[in-house]
Amino acid sequence: MKAKAKRGKATAKRIAPDEATRIARTELRKSAFAELLGFVPEKVTKGRAILRMDVRDHHRQIHNVVHGGVLAAFVDTAAAVAAYSTIPRDVALATVELKINFLRAVPGGRIKADARVLRAGRNFVVSECEVWNADGSMAAKALLTFGAASGHRISES
């Protein structure tokens, strides 16, 4: 009788929070879209990302508050950063579902998106994200699902 080979999980290299934040900033700088909108990672840890954005005139819609599409892009980006912090570096993510509730208008100032991974599986990552106004009130709450695909290497440069 053949002995069964033990199957153990590969031990992933842990990245320090300051290094994770640096990597997230470097990667987001590669996105002209994120740069245009001014998304800046403040803190990234395993399964969590906090991004900030200073509201500018180009973020506003006709009623002089931040456009809902800008907020949706903000939560999508923050949740993706949090999701990437939980998966192997050769896996790419794509948003397959985003559900957002707009709770309050965002008139201006520095806003924050706080994203947390709820579950990271082999094929999907589910995250939630809250957007906070400059006055500390919650402006939006979102639930996102990302599909995962192996074979895409993310650079560290």
Question: What integer is the mean pLDDT of 74-99?
Answer: 94
pLDDT in tens, 18-39: 777 877 777 877 788 888 899 9
pLDDT band at 10 (very low <50, low <70, confident <90, very high): very low
Higher-confidence residue of 7 and 41: namely 41
pLDDT confidence of residue 16: 66
Class of residue 40 by CB neighbours under 10 A (exposed 0-12, middle 13-18, buried 19+): middle
Pick the CATH number of 17-150 from 3.30.530.20, 3.10.129.10, 3.30.420.110, 3.40.50.300: 3.10.129.10
Please indicate, yes or no, whether the overall pTM of this predicted structure exceeds 0.85. Answer: no
Domain boundaries along the sequence of the chain: 17-150
> Can you spell out the DSSP letters for 86-100?
TS-TTEEEEEEEEEE
